[in-house]
């Protein structure tokens, strides 16, 4: 079934566990597009959470760990944050989406993500108090 000139959406659940994580969503995005028999358009990825974000970056070569290290330095997990419920330093998790937005849009050409050679669509979750995340994938056909 081809979707042209329409929007199709699905929500998926991602188990991020109890540690900070960069979770690669690229395969999930590709499966979603394959089920749609999509052509050209835009894939919009949305994370409806106040403590998670999305990033387009290389994974598997250390960049994902480097991102978590940089976020740890920029947003330390300590008691400086005014927002203070949950685990110690949880307030920093609420600042994360201002730096890594909860959305990303990727062009789709001939049914395939138009990512660069080393790019992946990634969920970034530093909130150790919330082990399951919802991600909404929406395809807008061109």
Mean pLDDT of the chain: 94
| Two tokens, residue 66 | 């480097």
Q: Burial, 12: exposed, middle or buried (Cβ in 10 Å; 0-12, 13-18, 19+)? A: middle
pLDDT of residue 4: 53
CATH 2.60.120.460 for the 7-141 domain, yes or no? yes
For residue 137, pLDDT over 80 is answered with: yes
Give the three-class secondary structure for 23.
strand
Using the predicted structure, report yes or no on whether residue 35 has a pLDDT greater than 90.
Answer: yes
pLDDT at position 33: 96
**Contact call for residues 134 and 11 (beta carbons, < 8 A):** yes
52, 129 contact by CB (below 8 A): no
* pTM score, whole prediction: 0.93
Domain regions of the chain by residue span: 7-141
Binned at pLDDT 50, 70 and 90, residue 37 comes out as confident
In this structure, what token pair is assigned to residue 101?
Answer: 């937005």
């Amino acid at each position: 079934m081809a979707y042209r000139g329409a929007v199709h959406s699905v929500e998926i659940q991602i188990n991020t566990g109890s540690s900070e994580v960069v979770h690669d969503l690229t395969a999930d995005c590709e499966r979603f597009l394959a089920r749609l028999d999509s052509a050209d358009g835009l894939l919009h990825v949305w994370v409806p959470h106040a403590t998670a974000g999305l990033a387009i970056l290389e994974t598997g070569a250390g960049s994902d760990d480097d991102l978590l290290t940089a976020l740890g330095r920029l947003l330390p997990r300590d008691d400086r944050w005014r927002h203070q419920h949950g685990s110690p330093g949880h307030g920093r998790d609420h600042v994360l989406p201002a730096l890594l937005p909860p959305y990303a849009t990727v062009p789709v050409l001939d049914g395939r993500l138009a990512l660069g050679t080393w790019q992946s669509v990634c969920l970034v979750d530093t909130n150790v108090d919330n082990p399951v995340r919802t991600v909404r994938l929406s395809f807008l056909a061109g």
